[in-house]
């Protein structure tokens, strides 16, 4: 941490530094709870994770802490810390405490659920996505109060940390509607996005949406010997492969009917801005699972492909015999897990309709098709870069990181659009993780000094906001 922590111009930085060791110890404890929301075997761990967070908030002195276990959702945590001034703005910090599965677990260099600190890096599932960033906000609030030498923050701060984000937030609409008064606010601060790079901090202004579904083709009622019937009956694995092969054209464009109808293309100015960000192809590939080459839709840069262009990806494909050796069968069933990343103003429900039409057109005679949606999907979201709240976040980040902060987007998905729609206020992004944190993959980590900068930025933001939102 550069600068003089006792310098009165940087009281938030000094406070963050004072709390840093406790912050890491607490986060490691939280990371040890395997709150894998997509796996029913871990739902009790999601509940434990919620209780851990609620207890931590109470220890920090938040007066109103609740664990919401209703609404059909896995447990969410809500807390409110009122400003001294009842007319002060109300902000709602959004995050999530559920995490992704950890397979292939044999590729982890450290146990996924211990929280292993190696130098500046803290390894563990959820370290970056999203427990680390939620913990960053707890630290930011403590630093804000310490810098103010007050018991009440400059703005009323509400915290809402859900437990189903990695499942596509299937019950979030009901949860928001059931708690509409608790969640009322003037601004949502969304905390589940990264900086562009360690040396190129950015403020995110948008996220892609998501629609996911599994398509299942069924032929017979049982696998059949390929010597007995091979060549005479439809093969569901071949058919599912043909469906996948038909998903893209030769230019890498998605061939669902009407897929691009609602896409808002970025302006030339936006594209020029993204082009100023440092981009190292080797680093990009290394951080993209060690990919050997780029690929994707023709006519767009790599950053544009993941930030402002929609996609169709196979997340998993499975049919027939997957064990050791050879088993000469025609399988009775094959399935593919597909997900579509969406950009404004695509809508998941329209993509669902288009997928149904596409599957119907690609189901050969003799096979039955089933589409199993994974929730209702997540709409995409983007924020105007000249909004006062965006400018305030940018200023707070620039002060904390001591350098200019540019704009970026992220290719991932989150419920920003849903929060915007149900709560009816703007959503801004404040995150301090990195794209190469290996979220959703083995060896997820977070860079601790960046979380500390992020906590400082949040603390500064709470001080700035009353004036900026007035």
In this complex, which beta carbon is closest to its own copies, that of residue 51 or of residue 327?
327
Kindly state the smallest distance separating residue 326's Cβ from its own copies, in Å: 4
Selected range binding its own copies among 33-41, 178-186, 382-390, 446-454, rule: CB under 8 A:
33-41
Q: Does 297 bind its own copies (CB under 8 A)?
A: yes
Residue spans of beta strands (DSSP E) within 63-208: 64-68, 76-81, 90-96, 116-118, 121-123, 156-162, 187-190, 202-207
Helix (H, G, I), strand (E, B) or coil at 101: coil
Q: Does 255 bind its own copies (CB under 8 A)?
A: no
Task: Of 429, 442, 465, give the one whose Cα is nearest residue 196.
Answer: 429
Structure-token pair, residue 4:
């003089």
Query: What sign has the CA pseudo-torsion 401, 403, 406, 412?
Result: negative
Kindly state the smallest distance separating residue 423's Cβ from its own copies, in Å: 23
In this complex, which beta carbon is closest to its own copies, that of residue 245 or of residue 269?
245
Which residue in the set 326, 384, 386, 470 belongs to the binding site for its own copies (CB under 8 A)? 326
Kindly state the smallest distance separating residue 374's Cβ from its own copies, in Å: 4
| 272 Cβ contact partners less than 8 Å away, ≥ 6 residues apart | none
Which residue in the set 7, 69, 315, 403 belongs to the binding site for its own copies (CB under 8 A)? 315
b/e map 53-71, b = 16+ CB within 10 Å: bbebbeebebeebebbeeb
Q: Does 212 bind its own copies (CB under 8 A)?
A: yes
How far lies 462's CA from each of 22, 83, 340, in Å? 22, 10, 36
Kindly state the smallest distance separating residue 76's Cβ from its own copies, in Å: 18
Task: Of 128, 198, 63, 136, give the one whose Cα is nearest residue 458.
Answer: 136
Binding mask 230-249 for its own copies (x = CB under 8 A): xxxxxx-xx-xxxxxxxxx-
In this complex, which beta carbon is closest to its own copies, that of residue 89 or of residue 168?
168
Cα–Cα dist 205/385, whole Å:
7
How far lies 400's CA from each of 17, 108, 134, 407, 452, in Å? 13, 32, 18, 16, 9
Selected range binding its own copies among 141-149, 367-375, 395-403, 424-432, rule: CB under 8 A:
367-375
Total residues found in the chain within this entry: 470
Which residues ranging from 433 to 452 are in contact with its own copies (CB under 8 A)? 435, 438-443
Q: Does 313 bind its own copies (CB under 8 A)?
A: yes
Q: Does 322 bind its own copies (CB under 8 A)?
A: yes
Strand partners, 446: 122
In this complex, which beta carbon is closest to its own copies, that of residue 234 or of residue 388?
234
Left, alpha or beta for 402 (phi > 0: left; psi -120 to 50: alpha)? left
Which residue in the set 34, 124, 163, 331 belongs to the binding site for its own copies (CB under 8 A)? 331
Which residue in the set 10, 137, 208, 394 belongs to the binding site for its own copies (CB under 8 A)? 208
Selected range binding its own copies among 48-56, 84-92, 216-224, 272-280, rule: CB under 8 A:
216-224
Binding mask 121-160 for its own copies (x = CB under 8 A): ----------------------------------------
Binding mask 165-204 for its own copies (x = CB under 8 A): --xx------------------------------------
The backbone torsions φ and ψ at residue 248, rounded to the nearest 5 degrees and listed phi first, read -125, 150
How far lies 458's CA from each of 10, 12, 357, 446, 454, in Å? 13, 9, 46, 18, 6
In this complex, which beta carbon is closest to its own copies, that of residue 137 or of residue 208?
208
Residue by residue, what is the 3-state secondary structure of 245-271? HCCECCCCCECCCCCCCCCCCCCHHHH
Which residue in the set 24, 32, 39, 395 belongs to the binding site for its own copies (CB under 8 A)? 39
In this complex, which beta carbon is closest to its own copies, that of residue 25 or of residue 372?
372
Which residues ranging from 374 to 393 are in contact with its own copies (CB under 8 A)? 374-375
Q: Does 223 bind its own copies (CB under 8 A)?
A: yes
Kindly state the smallest distance separating residue 343's Cβ from its own copies, in Å: 10
Which residues ranging from 57 to 86 are in contact with its own copies (CB under 8 A)? none
Q: Does 363 bind its own copies (CB under 8 A)?
A: no
Q: How many amino acids of this chain bind its own copies (CB under 8 A)? A: 103
How far lies 205's CA from each of 1, 107, 114, 302, 411, in Å? 27, 33, 33, 18, 11
Cα–Cα dist 453/408, whole Å:
18
């Amino acid at each position: 941490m550069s600068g003089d922590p006792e310098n009165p111009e940087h009281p938030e930085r000094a406070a963050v530094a004072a709390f840093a060791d406790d912050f890491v110890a607490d986060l490691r404890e939280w990371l040890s709870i395997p709150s894998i929301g997509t796996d029913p075997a871990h739902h009790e761990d999601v509940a434990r994770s919620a209780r851990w967070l609620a207890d931590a908030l109470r220890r920090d002195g938040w007066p109103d802490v609740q664990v919401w276990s209703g609404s059909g959702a896995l447990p969410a945590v809500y807390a409110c810390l009122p400003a001294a001034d009842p007319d002060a703005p109300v902000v709602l910090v959004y995050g999530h405490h559920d995490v992704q599965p950890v397979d292939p677990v044999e590729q982890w260099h450290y146990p996924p659920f211990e929280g292993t600190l190696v130098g500046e890096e803290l390894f563990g599932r959820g370290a970056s996505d999203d427990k680390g960033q939620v913990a960053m906000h707890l630290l930011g609030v403590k630093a804000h109060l310490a810098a103010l030498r007050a018991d009440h923050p400059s703005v009323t701060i509400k915290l809402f940390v859900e437990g189903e984000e990695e499942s596509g937030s299937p019950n979030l609409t009901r949860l928001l509607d059931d708690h509409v008064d608790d969640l009322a606010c003037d601004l949502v601060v969304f905390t589940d996005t990264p900086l562009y790079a360690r040396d190129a901090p950015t403020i995110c202004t948008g996220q892609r949406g998501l629609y996911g579904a599994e398509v299942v083709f069924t032929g017979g009622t049982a696998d059949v010997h390929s010597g007995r019937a091979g060549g005479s009956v439809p093969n569901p694995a071949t058919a599912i492969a043909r469906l996948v092969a038909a998903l893209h054209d030769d230019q890498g464009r998605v061939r669902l009917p009407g897929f691009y109808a609602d896409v808002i293309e970025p302006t030339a100015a936006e594209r020029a801005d993204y082009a100023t960000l440092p981009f190292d192809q080797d680093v990009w590939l290394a951080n993209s699972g060690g990919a050997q080459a780029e690929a994707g839709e023709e006519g767009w840069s790599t950053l544009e492909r993941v930030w402002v262009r929609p996609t169709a990806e196979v997340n998993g494909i499975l049919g027939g015999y997957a064990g050791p050796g050879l088993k000469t069968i025609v399988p009775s069933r094959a399935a593919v897990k597909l997900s579509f990343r969406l950009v404004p103003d695509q809508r998941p429900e329209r993509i669902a309709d288009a997928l149904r039409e596409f599957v119907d057109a690609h189901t050969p005679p003799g096979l039955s098709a089933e589409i199993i949606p994974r929730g209702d999907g997540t709409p995409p979201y983007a924020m105007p870069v000249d909004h006062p709240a965006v400018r305030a976040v940018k200023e707070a980040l620039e002060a904390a990181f001591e350098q200019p902060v540019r704009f970026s987007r992220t290719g991932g998905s989150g419920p920003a659009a849903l929060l915007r729609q149900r709560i009816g206020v703007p959503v801004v992004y404040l995150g301090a993780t990195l794209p190469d944190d290996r979220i959703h993959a083995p060896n997820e980590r977070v860079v601790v000094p960046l979380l500390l900068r992020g906590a400082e930025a949040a603390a500064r933001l709470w001080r700035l906001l009353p004036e900026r939102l007035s």
